A and B are shown apart, each in its own frame.
Chain A
Amino acid sequence: MSFLDSFFSRKRPEASSNVARDRLQILLAHERQAQEGGDSTLLRTLHAEILEVLARHVSIDEDNVQIKMDRGQKCSKLEIDIQVPQSGLRAQVSTMTPNEDL
């Protein structure tokens, strides 16, 4: 029965090796972020300084700035993800207003 099922079924299930690869990529991205001792100081400094610059112009929550380092053989990728909420943008507009008046 199961043989016939697999014989006649049109769509083949996704290869389990692809599932394994995707799971590992997600897991290791998190674990590397948590563990890399040397990088974590760098990431923390970057995080604090980026927040500081942003805070001058937008009101933003600490959790909305995500910094990730992806280790590569030849070069590493630094990924900075900043989510600006609507309320943050409004705050920006309000601080801009006095300047426009001038």
Chain B
Amino acid sequence: MAKIVVVTSGKGGVGKTTTTAALGAALARSGQNVAVVDFDVGLRNLDLIMGVERRVVFDLINVIQGEATLHQALIRDKRCDTLSILPASQTRDKDALTSEGIERVMNELRERFDWILCDSPAGIERGAQLAMHHADHAVIVTNPEVSSVRDSDRIIGMLDSQTARAQKGETVEKHLLLTRYDPSRASRGEMLSVEDVVGILSLPLLGVIPESEDVLKASNVGAPVTFASPESVPALAYFEAVARLEGKDIPVTIPTEKRGLFDRIFKKRGS
């Protein structure tokens, strides 16, 4: 039974695309068939983060409008053949996304994949609503920062009222993913703590991704962080989040950088 997951946040720049790529890659690495779908029409970026930007021929809107088949538009990842990406259109008007068209594409994806991860655009407008509409699960990406928490709360309200599941009287399973977290700043009282954010939003915690240089390094080279540096702190945190998304009941840990004295003195040049 395929599961549709929307990765959403309300606020922009909190790590939705990074998260979609990292979770998708981690799920696919275990042999499951995964499609990551970019819903950010006009500002597509998932292709770039995944490193397939030069292989885009057709996109989601081409499929919706019948100009290409789903098979033609899906790009298979070269590092992992169970991972595919459906890019968003960069040039087309976002009104070309119709709810009927998306329903058809989602149904077709459900037949082929185990997991369908939808990368939502920022905001609470139509694009974000369409991205969450068919979701069974929602990953709410939140930074430990007031405006991000507030926007997440808005999105939670929408997930509870405007999705297909909500309209049928069912619920979308919601998960909180706290990203760009700095445990030392939180312990000094300079940053909202994990407990603060969980308490305010009252959502089960999927994981805590610490702020890390590895995320930018991975995006520089066009690879999900769970592929680019699977041993890194953020990758470990994403693997843990994936296990929880699959329903495993494991305690949430916050991986931290273990840097020795020598590393600090002779700070390694970028790798």
Contact (Cβ within 8 A) A73 B203? yes
Chain A 23-63, CB within 8 Å of chain B: the 1/0 string? 11101100110011110000000000000000000000000
Q: Does B192 touch A at the CB level, under 8 Å?
A: yes
A71 touches B192 (CB 8 A): no
Q: How far is the CA of A39 from the CA of B69 in the complex (A)?
A: 42
Task: List residues of chain B with CB within 8 A of the CB of A36.
Answer: 157, 161
B200 x A24 contact (CB < 8 A): yes
Given that A27-B150, A28-B153 are known contacts, is A17 also in contact with B193, CB under 8 Å in the complex?
A: yes
Cβ-defined contact, B204 with A31, below 8 A = no
Contacts of A38 in B (CB 8 A): 160-161
Given A23-B146, A72-B202; A17-B186 close (CB under 8 Å): yes
**A15 contacts which chain B residues (CB < 8 A)?**
188-190
CB-based nearest A residue for B196: A21
Name the interface size band of chain A.
20 to 34
| Interface majority SS (helix, strand, loop, mixed), chain A | helix
Residue pair B153, A17 in contact (C-beta under 8 Å): no
Q: Tell me, in angstroms, the Cα distance from A62 to B160 when the chains sit together.
A: 29
Whether the pair A24, B150 counts as a contact (CB closer than 8 A) is yes
Q: Mark B152-180, 1 if CB is under 8 A from A, else 0.
A: 01100100110000000000000000000
The distance from the CB of A39 to the nearest CB of chain B, in whole angstroms, is 9
Residue of B nearest to A28 (CB): B153
The closest CB in chain B to the CB of A14 belongs to B189
| Contact call B193/A28, Cβ cutoff below 8 A | no
Q: Which residues of the other chain, B, contact A72 by a CB distance below 8 angstroms?
A: 202
Q: Does B56 contact A (CB under 8 A)?
A: no
Query: In angstroms, how far is the closest chain B Cβ from the Cβ of A40?
Result: 11
B149 at the interface (CB under 8 A from A): yes
How many angstroms from the CA of A35 to the CA of B145 in the assembled complex? Answer: 22
Does any Cβ of A come within 8 Å of B245's Cβ? no
Could you tell me the distance in whole angstroms from the C-beta of B173 to the nearest C-beta in chain A? Answer: 12
The verdict on A17 contacting B157 (CB below 8 Å), with A72-B202, A73-B204 known, is: no
Determine if A86 is an interface residue (Cβ-Cβ < 8 Å).
no
In the assembled complex, how far is the CB of residue B144 from the closest CB belonging to chain A, in whole angstroms?
A: 8
Instruction: Tell me whether A37 and B161 are in contact in the complex, defined as CB-CB below 8 angstroms, given that A18-B189, A23-B146, A28-B150 are known contacts.
Output: yes
Type the 1/0 row for A79-102, where 1 means its CB is closer than 8 Å to any CB of B. 000000000000000000000000
Most chain B CB atoms below 10 A, which of A15, A20, A36: A20
Q: Report yes or no: B200 in contact with A16, Cβ–Cβ below 8 A.
A: no
Assess the B200–A21 pair: CB atoms within 8 A: yes
Q: Is the CB of B204 within 8 A of A35?
A: no
Instruction: Please state if A24 and B189 are interface contacts (CB–CB under 8 Å).
Output: no
| Residues A31 and B192 in contact in the complex (CB < 8 Å), given A25-B200, A37-B161 | no
Q: Would A20 and B192 be within 8 Å (CB), given that A28-B200, A35-B154, A73-B202 are in contact? A: yes
* Between-chain CB contacts (< 8 Å), 8 pairs: A17-B193, A17-B196, A24-B150, A31-B153, A32-B153, A35-B157, A38-B160, A73-B203
In the complex, besides A21-B196, A35-B154, 17 extra interface pairs with C-beta distance below 8 angstroms are: A15-B188, A15-B190, A16-B190, A17-B196, A20-B146, A20-B196, A21-B192, A23-B146, A24-B149, A28-B150, A28-B200, A31-B153, A35-B157, A36-B157, A38-B160, A72-B202, A73-B204
User: Which chain B residues have a beta carbon within 8 Å of chain A's beta carbons?
Assistant: 145-146, 149-150, 153-154, 157, 160-161, 186, 188-193, 196, 199-200, 202-204
A contacts, CB < 8 Å to B: 15-18, 20-21, 23-25, 27-28, 31-32, 35-38, 71-73
